[in-house]
Every structure is written in C-alpha cells, then in structure tokens.
Structure 1
Amino acid sequence: MASSTTYSTQIAADILGTIAASTEAVVQQRPGAREHVLALAYKLVSTLETPSETVQRMGWTEPARFAATQMAIDLKIFEKLEEAHNAPVSLVDLVVSTGGDAALIARTMKHLSATNIISEIGVDEYASTPISTALTIPKFRDGISYLYNVAGPSLHSIPAYLKKTGYENPGNIADGPFQFAHKTQNPFFIWLAERPEYAEQFNNYMSGYRQGKLSWCDEGFYPVAERIGQRLNSEPPLLVDVGGGLGHDLLELRTKHPELSGRLILQDQADVIKQVGNPEKGIELIVHDFFTPQPVKGAKAYYLHSVLHDWDDARCLKILNNIIPAMSPGYSKLLVNENVVPDVGAAWPITSMDWLMMALGAVKERTEKQWRGLLQQAGLEVTGIWTYEQGTESLIEAEVAI
C-alpha cells in the first residue's frame, strides 16, 4: 500500500501538470483561466503542507500577517515605500517617518516580507510590491481596516456564540455573532451608520471588492445588449442600481458597453451618495432607501448587487415588493448579482462569504433553489441564471410573473 506521503506527492505532481498545461490560457488572459489556476494553487498548498504546517499557517502565520498589515497601514509604511518609486527604503528611514520603535518596525517588516506583502532588498532595506502599492489605495487599504476591526472579531466570535446558543443556525439580525463580538443590540448596518469611520471604510472596500474578478457585463458572461439594450423608447431609464454604493458597477457597465444609450441611475442612502461627490457624466444620483417604494418607474432594468444577501427572506421580500410595482410587466427586468451556492463543489470564495454573512448579519448565501423560491414568493419569474466561472458571482434575471 502506498504511503500517505507518496499519495500526496502524486496528487501534487498531477496538480502541477494541470497548472503547467494552463499556462497559455493564463498568459492569453482567457476568461476564467486565472481563477482556475489560482484554485489549483491553493489545492497544491493544501496537498503539500503537513498537518503541522497547516495549523501553523491558520493559527499564527496568517493572523500575524493580517495584524502586521494593519499596523503598517496605521503607520503609513506602504505610502513611504511607494514614495521611493521602487528604490530601497531603509529601516532607519521607516523608524524616522513612523516614530515607531526600531525593533518593532524591523519585526513587522520581516513578517510582511516573509509573507510577500513587501520586498526585502537587503539587510534592513525594503521596497514596495504590487500588493503594498494596492494597499495605499483607499478601496484596498480600507478593506483591510474594515475586515480587521469589524468583520474579523465577528468571525472569531462564531464558535463561542454558537456554543452559547446550542449550535442553532443564526437567523436574528439583531442577535448574532456580530452583536456577540461587538457587545451591541443593533443590527450591523445600524451599528455601522453610527460609526462614520468604519462606514467610509466599508463603502470604499465595496468599491474595490470585485476588482479583477469576472463581471456580469464582461463579454461572454451575460448578453447585456441583447437582454437589456433594446428598449421601448428613450424616455425610461436604462438601469437603476438600487443600493449601488459608490457607483462602481454603473461605471463598469458604461465603460464596457458604450453602445448602450439611456439614463443610468445610482441609488443609495444619503451618507453614501454624499461620499460619491460629483458623479461621472451620464450617471444620476438619487437618495433612496430600498425599504421604501421605488420612485423610478418603468426602467428597463433594476439592478441589485450584493444587496439581498445582507438580509433575511422577510426583509428581502420587502425590498423586492418595493421594486416590483415600479417594473413594467413584460418589459422591465430585475437583475440580481449575487453568489449562487452550487449543490456540489462550492468554491471557497462563496463558502467563506457565507460564513462572513453569518458573522455580520446572521444571514446566508443562497442556493439556486433558494433564490428561485425567494423570487417566486415575491411574484417574480426567473428567466435565466448566468454563471461564468466557479467561485464568481452569478447574474440572476427575473421578470414580473404574468
């Protein structure tokens, strides 16, 4: 009988062969190729690691990386490296610019280098990397801070919270792991609204969450021009982005489909719309609470991106029931851009997001059956579900049931 080491080595060899065979597809930037190889790379690490190494990575390597990255953000270390334009920055310079203890800064830089956040050029000399450069940009930098200070404690509290509740599946948005961790009785979004610093970090992070991932408006995903490009006349808006944050989805749609004509409307709460500032040409801003009736009537499409997964079924139905009266039956479409959990072989970006939703709102990512049931209950008929690559968000299209 082959040993477990021999078995793991053979699996690793097979994975390496598959990765090698995928090189051309990655170089040519074929849709889905990068995601496929990335999934294989994670599987390769899991195959080659010993149990002890797995525990070490989960237990302190990644948590220490997260903590060191947050500290570097607080001290603006990544900005200091970026200002050097790829030239080495000495430990002495970092100590002077940050005011931190030399030994502490040295230990921080060592771990950031060992985990590929920055580059170690020589003895006590460091330089930026694409990752550290990205962490000087608000949508990535604030993602770390929001996740470290808000989401992280909520995730860490799940085992203790579930033990307290007798391992019941969380379902109360005002009494879940988030409330347990942050010692509050407020639901996540109410708590967030009372803390402008975290709210700004959250909104910035949402604007960059999907960057580099396949989008519903990419060629070969959802047939945008065919499904929503043809309109009855030029008067009604083309698309209303309901709860659309800072408008990154509308900008992407306009950039990737300049042939589409029609008004694009961004809706969100007043504090979010204020953060948008001056909108890009062709995008209208409307302050709107999606728990109230939709004011824009007869648009070709009403778009919800990562909105419904924040809420339980009852509140989702309230959101949908406020949109449906504004839709023109047989013409308007509801576009729901969300994760659809497959019955078998769900990828970690989806399963981990499901746990994050459990932690923050006592809610969940839904299966196809659950999505169809929810939309049908609201009086909508699903007319198609588009999924390009395992682990990416899907585009669910629905119309008013006639």
Structure 2
Amino acid sequence: MSSTPEAVIAQIQAASAAYAEKKPGAREQLLNLGYALVSSVELPSEAIQRMGWAEPAKAAHCRIAVELKLFELLKESGEQGMTAKDLATKTGADEVLLTRTLKHLAATNVVAETGDDKYIATRLSNAFTEPRFRDGIIYTYDVAGPSFRGLPEYLKKIKYALPTMLTDGPFQAAHKTELPFFAWLDQNPPYLEAFNSYMAAYRAGKPSWVDPGFYPISERLIEGFDAGSGDGVILVDVGGGLGHDLQELKEKHPSLPGKLILQDRSEVISTVSAGAFQATAHDFFTPQPVKDARAYYLHSVLHDWGDDDCVKILEQLKPALKPGYSRLLINEIIVPDRNPTWPVTSMDQLVFVLGAMGERTEKHWESILKRAGFKISRIYNYEMGSESLIEADLA
C-alpha cells in the first residue's frame, strides 16, 4: 500500500464505492485506509501527542463517563442535549471537570458539542450505554489496560525474553498476582461478568461464520445430519461463554435441526440465561462427554493456550468425533504471512499481555492440528476479515 496521502485518498475513493455496494470486506478496507491516511499526513510530533496523551485521555474519560453514567444521561436528553452544569447537578461531579472531560470526548468524536458548553449523544456514545459495550470499556481499561501500561517495564525487567507461561507474564506483573488470567477473573466476579458480557460485543457488526456466504452450513452441517447419532446433537460449543454464538446460529438458521450444547467452566455456566441450547459445565482438558455430534466448535479458545495445551484440548475431543461424520470447527484469527491488519496484530498483543500467548499463522494451525490427529479440510474467511473458520476432520 502506497503511503502518500494522494495514493491513499485514491484508494479510499475506490473503497467507498465498494462500501456503498455493501461488498464484503469494504468496510474493513475503508477503516484500514482511514488509519493509513492519518499516518500519511500527521507529523511525528502529532503522532506522539495522539499516542502519548490524546488516546490515553480518551480511554480514561470514557471509563469515567461509564462510571458517572454520562452516556446514559446524554442519550436520555435526546436532541436537546445537556450542559456540563446540568450533568454536574445530576452526577455530583465538578462542573469544570466535566466540561474538560466532555470537550475532549467531543474532540475525539465520542460525543458532540452543539453549542456553548452544550453536548449531545452520538451513535458511538449511545452504543456505550449498551451493557455489552459498557462492560467492554470497563474490562479493557481496568483489566487489560494495566498490563499494556506496565509492559515496557516488565519486558525490561526480564531482559526482553519472550514470556510463555500463563502464570508469569505481563498480566501477573501488572495485577500483582500469580493466578492465570481466567483464574483471576473467577476470583473477581465483577470483572468476570464484564468480560463475559463484552465477548458478546467483540464481533458485533462484523460478518459471522453463520452468515450467508461465509460457511456453507446447509451443505456442511445440515445435509447428512443424523438425528440418531450423538443423541441428536448437531453442534457442541466448547468453551462457548454465555452462548452468544449458539444464540446467533439459531436466530439466523431457525430451521436448524438437532440439539445445541453449550459447554464452559462452572463459574461461567452458572451465569447463563436460558436459551436455544443446553448449557453444561465441562473442563475441556477432560474427555468430551458428548459423543458422535455433527460438529464440535471452538471460538477464540485455543489462542489463550500454548501449543502443547492446544494439543491436549484437541486430543480430548478426538475420541468423541465419529469418523466420516463429525467435524471440528475452529473459529480463530489466522495471521497472514504478510501485512496483517491492526485488528489482527492488536488481538495478538492482547493475548500476549493477558496470557503470554499469541495468534497463529496457517502453518502453525496445521502443525497443532496434525499433532492432535486432525487434518484441515478447508479454511473459510472473507476479504479483510480478522477471523477465519477452520474446518478439520480426523486424520
């Protein structure tokens, strides 16, 4: 990709046409080019200002706004909006403090300023009133944030070695704990709840494997489904959190036959509401109890574990698969060999600071699956998409 502003603008115009035609990947390409345009025109001093204090201040003020329910108050005020004085009266916060907070949020396009110290909600700030996005702000700032902020000091301390231990990495250094990330979440229920809630928002608005044109569900799952096999289970979501993927699958494919099974840790399953699936507690390091299902599905599970642990997880699944019938579906990021986009690299950094893990290339996935006794039959994705669906069979 050329880095000159003129070249990027020309590419933006082409991507805009594709976006208007709602072509898959056009939105992601437009977003990518928008960042490229900023990088091509901003001065080095402006880049430091943006990274050093504009963006950290934006994140901090969004966290404050969540705590004070500023986004909810602005949403309720509608087109009339509210002044900082009004908001100070409602929240008990200092008026000058709120004025400065809101001006920065307006300058960074989170809210909008419509008059002299008058603010209204935007599409983005209204979204931040939804529990899943609100919890995302809490989780990313309170839990992931300290790990990133402490990363330079931590790496310097260990002489820039590569952390690979779930119990000894940037997260443990930042939060002063010896617990792995998920065990720490279990010990901190408010953050466990926020994490699980945000997982429903991570892919919101992005193409899903259950959408038409991504993975041929009718051809690969429904056709050939045997209601007498595996107690009539069509899909087991292993480590599936609160069941958002299963809910979406059933909503977009209401005529899907068979049973849907959600599995996760007991701490998670205890918080699951009733849905179009059966929820059961299961440790995926132990043998899979549901035998001969049509498909076993793992979404963003394996990137939290090292290669050896991934092999152990997959080996627990292997005996449950019915040869020639069952399929293994792995919904994960596949890092391109060249020029990955920032959603891919940033997720690699997130799993790095939280669990000392990393995202994987296609060759890396092939190696892990081969060790566990599987072979990739096909990889499904879409242009500029950050997640792919790996379909594998018994080797």
Q: Same fold (TM over 0.5)?
A: yes
Aligned amino acid, residue 258 of structure 1: P
Is 2:5 aligned against 1:45? no
DSSP-derived class of the 2:390 partner = strand
Residue 213 of structure 1 contacts residue 392 of structure 1 at CA under 8 Å; is this kept in 2? Answer: no
DSSP-derived class of the 1:275 partner = coil
Aligned amino acid, residue 379 of structure 2: I
- The percent identity for this pair of structures is 53
The residue correspondences of 1:48-87 to structure 2 (distance < 5 A) are 48-87=41-80
2:353 to 355, 359, 363: 359
RMSD, aligned CA? 1.5
> In the TM superposition, what is the alpha-carbon distance from 1:381 to its structure 2 partner?
1.0
DSSP-derived class of the 1:285 partner = strand
Query: Could you list the per-position Cα deviations for residues 16-69 of structure 1 after superposition, in whole angstroms to 9, with x for gaps in the alignment?
Result: 122122323212322111111111111001001111111110100000000000
Which residue matches 1:234?
227
Aligned amino acid, residue 386 of structure 1: Y
Query: Could you list the per-position Cα deviations for residues 66-122 of structure 1 after superposition, in whole angstroms to 9, with x for gaps in the alignment?
Result: 000000100011111111123211222100111001111111111111101101111
Q: TM-score, normalising length from structure 2? A: 0.96
> In the TM superposition, what is the alpha-carbon distance from 1:324 to its structure 2 partner?
1.1
1:261 to 257, 262, 265: 257
Residue 3 of structure 2 contacts residue 36 of structure 2 at CA under 8 Å; is this kept in 1? Answer: no
Which residue matches 1:4?
none
DSSP-derived class of the 1:238 partner = strand
Residue 346 of structure 1 contacts residue 391 of structure 1 at CA under 8 Å; is this kept in 2? Answer: no
Which residue matches 1:5?
none
Kindly tell me: are residues 110 and 304 of structure 1, through their superposed partners in 2, closer, same or farther at Cα, counting changes over 3 Å? same
Is 2:320 aligned against 1:319? no
1:216 to 209, 213, 231: 209
Is 2:293 aligned against 1:299? yes
Which residue matches 2:379?
385
Residue 349 of structure 1 contacts residue 391 of structure 1 at CA under 8 Å; is this kept in 2? Answer: no
2:140 to 144, 147, 153: 147
1:106 to 99, 112, 133: 99
> In the TM superposition, what is the alpha-carbon distance from 1:232 to its structure 2 partner?
4.3
DSSP-derived class of the 1:385 partner = strand
Range moving further from structure 2, 236-245 or 20-29? 20-29
DSSP-derived class of the 1:396 partner = strand
2:163 to 161, 165, 170: 170
In 2, Cα distance between the equivalents of 1:271 and 1:27? 44
Q: TM-score, normalising length from structure 1? A: 0.94
Residue 2 of structure 2 contacts residue 8 of structure 2 at CA under 8 Å; is this kept in 1? Answer: no
1:275 to 260, 271, 275: 271
1:15 to 5, 8, 11: 8
Aligned amino acid, residue 242 of structure 1: V
2:125 to 115, 126, 132: 132
2:240 to 241, 244, 257: 244
List alignment gaps of at least 5 residues for structure 2.
none
Aligned amino acid, residue 130 of structure 1: R
